[in-house]
Amino acid sequence: MILDLTLPPSTETSTSGLMHVKRFWSKVMLKRANQIDEEFWNKEWELDKTLLSVLGLGLEQTLTYVFQYAPAFEEFEQWIVQTSGFPASEQISRFNDLFNKTPVLSQPIPSVLSAEELAFWKENGYLVLKNVIPKEDCRATIDVICDFLKINLNDANTWYSPNNSRQGIMVQLFQHPLLQKNRQSARIRMAYEQLWQRSDIWVTTDRVGFNPPETEKWKFPGPDLHWDCSLDLPIPFNLQGLLYLADTAPNQGAFTLVPGFHNRISAWLSSLPEGTNPRIENLHALGSFPIAAEAGDFIIWHQALPHGSSPNTSSKPRFVQYINYQPADFTAQKNWM
């Protein structure tokens, strides 16, 4: 059993002045060697993810690098700078305050969502925020993705070429000025703050998505309807979100969810016969709904909603960017179900 005493304290700083970096690296190295138990690994999981948000690093991207190369701490620091640069000084100070027990000054909670939107949210558990990102930025972001994947939008033959950065419809692209600009949308952040009813939230560094039309040789690999959280009741409040980078029709691999299911998930789970695995039930039978929207529209949803992508039966690809905000002290359920 790994004890806190055997690890660097969170307050030990990296060369950039950021706390918790060396402790995080130490834990991942122990995880790589299978020398840390799951309970201890999960103990600071949300804090670890917040650290990566501050560093501008993707979670899977970082774990893959450490597991593959087992870098010394100095090498890990160099990789961080080479990959995402130095975090802003205000971000460093804000993150370090989590360990200094500095009182967080309360900030006014914005009211960007109308009464009608809030009523829709309460009933359906999701919102479509219109035109949060300029369409020209969306087009430019698509160009970035195409360049990264080496595909030509005018040549469908290039849409299915193998690429190590493609994992199904997910693309392991995390760092680019345009991606960061989209993440920093004031309207997206304010909507999250209003729904969370708190301003001390952190934007994640997540990936992008590319879902081309199905062909005889290439079929939609998923993910179909699913949850990204434990189904151990009660399910805590948490949010997820994605940005449409191109106009997306219902049959264009549209993002799909079950509206309002956050209001009835407890009753549904309780109604299942003992021993039933809810994750393999026919979730579409619960009332799945594909969301058509335009480039620059942002979908935000409650984590209790079954959600996923869908087969693209149109003639155009679907492009999205995943964006989320979360507080550092979020607490997930201990038991995975």
Query: Mind giving me the DSSP string for 279-327?
Result: GGS-GGGGT-EE--B-TT-EEEEETTS-EE---B-SSS-EEEEE--EEE
Q: Which domains are assigned to the chain?
A: 4-100 (no CATH), 115-327 (2.60.120.620)
> Strand pairing of 256-257 and 325-327?
unpaired
Amino acid at 235: I
The answer to whether 62 touches 31, Cβ cutoff 8 Å, is: no
- pLDDT tens digits, one per residue of 65-121: 999 999 999 999 999 999 999 999 999 999 999 998 766 666 788 899 999 999 999
Please give the sequence-ordered ranges of beta strands (E in DSSP) within 186-279, or none if there are none.
201-203, 208-211, 239-244, 256-257
- Which pLDDT band, with edges at 50, 70 and 90, does 334 fall under? confident
- Output the average pLDDT for the chain: 94
Q: Can you tell me the distance from the alpha carbon of 223 to that of 233, in angstroms, rounded to the nearest whole number?
A: 23
Q: Can you tell me the distance from the alpha carbon of 240 to that of 237, in angstroms, rounded to the nearest whole number?
A: 11
Name the token pair of 301: 């949803």
Can you say whether residue 34 is alpha, beta or left, with left for phi > 0 and alpha for psi between -120 and 50 degrees? left
For the residues 5-22, what does the mean pLDDT come to? 92
Helix (H, G, I), strand (E, B), or coil: what is residue 82?
helix
Amino acid at 156: A
- pLDDT tens digits, one per residue of 26-72: 999 999 999 998 888 999 999 999 999 999 999 999 999 999 999 99
Q: Which residue intervals of 70-157 are DSSP H helices?
A: 73-84, 89-100, 115-124, 135-149
pLDDT at 19: 97
What letter would DSSP give residue 275? T
Q: Cα separations (Å) of 191 from 38, 91, 203, 274, 330? A: 34, 20, 12, 39, 18
> What does pTM read for this prediction?
0.94
The C-alpha R_g of the chain, in whole angstroms, comes to 21
What letter would DSSP give residue 113? S
What letter would DSSP give residue 242? E
- pLDDT tens digits, one per residue of 243-295: 999 999 999 999 999 999 999 999 999 999 999 999 999 999 999 999 999 99
- pLDDT tens digits, one per residue of 156-215: 999 999 999 999 999 999 999 999 999 999 999 999 999 999 999 999 999 999 999 999
Can you say whether residue 56 is alpha, beta or left, with left for phi > 0 and alpha for psi between -120 and 50 degrees? left
Q: Can you tell me the distance from the alpha carbon of 211 to that of 310, in angstroms, rounded to the nearest whole number?
A: 9
Q: Can you tell me the distance from the alpha carbon of 192 to that of 121, in angstroms, rounded to the nearest whole number?
A: 12
The answer to whether 90 touches 119, Cβ cutoff 8 Å, is: no
Name the token pair of 136: 């020209």
